[in-house]
Amino acid sequence: MDGTYQMLHDIIDFHNDRMRNLRRYYPFFCLQNTAFHLFKEGKYSFLDMGYITLAVLRFFIEENQFNDRAVQYPEIASFISGVLIRDFSLVLQSEEEKELVDYIFDKLKNDGKPFVMEYFDPVKKAKASVRMKLIDATLSGNTVLYTVTADAIEFYLDTKEIRDESKINIQQILLEKMIHTKNFKGGIDVIRRINSEVNRLRLQKREVLALLGSNVFDGVKALEEFNQTGMRWFSEEQKLFSHNMELMERARAKAEETAEGAKDMESLRGIYQLETELKKAMANHGELLSDCMDLQVRADEMIHKYKYSRLRGAFDFRAFVAAAEEAQDVTLLSHLVEPLLFPKLQKQFSLLQTDELLSLPAEAGETAEVLGEAKEEMYRFEDEIEEERISGNYGAIVRTLFEELTASEQVPLSTLNRKLELKFFDGIFKNSDYYSFLVHICQKKDYDLEQIRKKQDTFFEGILAEMLKEPAMQKYAGLKFRLIMKPEAEELVHQIAGLERDAIFVTTEIVFERLKEEKAG
């Protein structure tokens, strides 16, 4: 009975997910089966639209992702014409060729409309549909630019990966597309696939070590294959990780500037989650490099140990002398002495190594070390590092406070907290610098930034004076404000997520009041 229930659950509840996955293949088969049957009375039905579709997708991926640029229609038409001539030996007059190429491209972009696949939804017991596009078009000035969609990239990668390069690189190309299209949920799935591939390589590393322990010859072959397939593209992978992290930071900064409603907050949380997953993937990828370095060291030790044991086991001096005595032939001892007296000075180079030299990647070759002028490194003490961190955290809070004081004459601490939470999420209340900031700012009741620039009485005023030297802070140079402790002593309770129920922080309500000129002093 339980087995039947599980089967029905799989059939009904997962059907929508399966249809959404299958939609990536739907446009390909639509194009392959119906593209040329009705065009010119089937005159060009010998053309394989499936092949042309995959060729055009590969062209788009090369230009959009590897060369990082959108393409115009004349470039696409030129590429399709080349495919028709090269692969199908189809040479036409210019007008007829233009008409055929236009028809092919209109079919690929489905006249600008998405492909719609209808299916039965067993949950709602009604017809449902999913949509997919292969090519997107955007208007830039008076020019139409075309790019490949994320779904089309994923479909192409499912058929066969681009080049013989790292799967991590391929997934990062898809991740970049997800970030550009603001599909942060899909980006998280891509990062999980990257982590899965990294974990697979780490497992393969352990398998190579185990194979070296049991059969050194097969282990050496497996090690060479692992270095070629697993570590060959490591530097490019690191560059793509850095590039995608920069894209995420720009997306987050832009979202923070324009965030207003609940929808924007949900988008910000999606960006934050994707950025967190990407940082985990980068850390996991760094651990893979450490594992591979450890693999190389341990492999060298195992190979060296094996060579030594093979030499010792293959030549036994006592057995050799015993065999010479038994044969009554003293000349056999020359095999022991001659290699020591007449070492072979002539060296040989195997011609089989030339292929490896010609295929050696340029970045793997030795490069001369460029020696510049020696620079004296300044040692940083721990207290200096702490002061730098505190100044940075205080600066973020102070800028938010000054922005609010410029907009409003009075800013309660509860209002400031909401603004800080919007910028930094609830993690701001887990930071001890937030509470030390409140302690420091409450040391005085009145603050005149113009006077603070000239003289500082407290550690906090010293930080303010340094901040006011920044060009962006000049607009606050004449700001004056005071702190008013609420007489009713309203308490703001911050429950910290992830800690015990009793782990709370309590702060008294404070009102920051901007002073006018006549109130100065």
Residue with tokens 């509860």: 414
Distance CA 112, CA 521 (A): 68
Residue type, 245: M
> What are the residues whose beta carbons fall under 8 Å from the beta carbon of 484, sequence distance 6 or more?
510, 511, 512, 513
For the chain, which domains are there?
1-160 (no CATH), 166-331 (1.20.58), 382-519 (no CATH)
Which pTM was predicted? 0.40
Taking the CB of residue 489, how many other CB atoms lie within 10 A of it? Answer: 8
pLDDT score, position 76: 92
pLDDT tens digits for 224-261?
A: 776 665 555 555 666 666 766 776 777 777 766 665 65
> What are the residues whose beta carbons fall under 8 Å from the beta carbon of 341, sequence distance 6 or more?
none
Distance CA 372, CA 381 (A): 27
Containing 213, the helix (H) or strand (E) segment is: helix 184-214
* Range with the poorest average pLDDT among 135-149, 173-187, 377-391: 173-187
Distance CA 423, CA 429 (A): 12
Confidence band for 383, pLDDT divided at 50, 70 and 90: confident
Distance CA 350, CA 187 (A): 49
Rounded to 5°, the CA angle 180-186-192 comes to 115
Cβ burial, residue 145 (10 Å; 0-12/13-18/19+) = middle
Q: What is the mean pLDDT of the chain?
A: 76
pLDDT score, position 75: 93
pLDDT score, position 166: 53
Distance CA 380, CA 387 (A): 11
pLDDT score, position 81: 92
Give me the mean pLDDT over the 285-312 stretch. 70
Q: Is the dihedral of CA 164, 166, 171, 176 positive or negative?
A: negative
Q: Does 314 or 349 have the greater pLDDT score?
A: 349
Segment of 139-148, 189-198, 280-289, 310-319 carrying the highest mean pLDDT: 139-148
Give me the mean pLDDT over the 191-195 stretch. 71
Confirm if 138 and 144 have CB atoms less than 8 A apart.
Answer: yes
Confidence band for 14, pLDDT divided at 50, 70 and 90: confident
> What are the residues whose beta carbons fall under 8 Å from the beta carbon of 90, sequence distance 6 or more?
44, 47, 84
Between the CA of residue 209 and those of 215, 227, 286, 296, what are the distances in Å? 10, 13, 20, 10
Beta pairing partners, 120: 127
Helix 413-424 crosses helix 382-407 at what angle (to 10 degrees)?
Answer: 120
Confidence band for 167, pLDDT divided at 50, 70 and 90: low
Residue 215 has φ and ψ, to the nearest 5°, of: -145, 105
Long-range Cβ pairs for the range 291-300 (8 Å, 24+): 291/202, 291/205, 292/205, 292/230, 292/231, 292/234, 295/205, 295/208, 295/209, 295/223, 295/226, 298/209, 299/208, 299/209, 299/212, 299/219, 299/220, 299/223
Buried b (16+ CB within 10 A) or exposed e, 237-247: beebbeebeeb
Give percent of the chain above pLDDT 70. 70
Confirm if 144 and 75 have CB atoms less than 8 A apart.
Answer: no
Residue 138 has φ and ψ, to the nearest 5°, of: -130, 150
Confidence band for 272, pLDDT divided at 50, 70 and 90: confident
Confirm if 481 and 405 have CB atoms less than 8 A apart.
Answer: yes
For the chain, the residue count is 521
